[in-house]
Amino acid sequence: MGFVGRHTTFTKERLDRCVANQIWKEKFKDVKVEGLTSRSSDRIPILLSIAEVSSINVNRAKKFNFEASWLRDEKCELVVTGGWLGQESSTNPMKKVQQLLHSCSGILNKWAKIKDSNSGKEIERLIVKIKKLQGNDRPKNVEEIRELQKKVMVLLVQEDVK
């Protein structure tokens, strides 16, 4: 595969290598293996660079963050599946993965904005309902108030997980 940089260890042995079969070499033609500087060992860290991936602009407008709270929502899996399956992608395997991840992250961000907006509105709606029920001092309202308070608590916990 070729090698750039320091080739051997202190003991003049080349222990660190990068190996690929012919199929992999055909898929990734412009590859560079580089021996980096070792800070505390005679082992040489190696870096495998694929030119097509390296040339892609990595300065994105906004970094994507997956929120742990999304896992509590049953719809999250459907959103991810839709983002993964609904994308026409490149024949280049590295670009294909990048396009699929970009598609999923975009769809998840849009879904999260709608979800967060709806969650806030739902909390407000439940609180208004609780206040109304608390205004009517009936014994049968106590159980309904408790149920509504539980729902509000679940929504607030989901927001805190973010």
pLDDT tens digits for range 40-65: 566 777 888 887 644 445 555 567 88
* Secondary element (H or E) of residue 108: helix 93-135
Structure-block tokens of residue 55: 């040339």
- pTM for this model (two decimals): 0.46
| The pLDDT of residue 132 | 87
DSSP 8-state class, residue 15:
-
DSSP letters along 112-153, please? HHHHHHHHHHHHHHHHHHHHHHHHS--TTHHHHHHHHHHHHH
Tens digit of each residue's pLDDT (9 = 90 or more) over 123-151 = 888 988 888 888 887 778 888 888 889 98
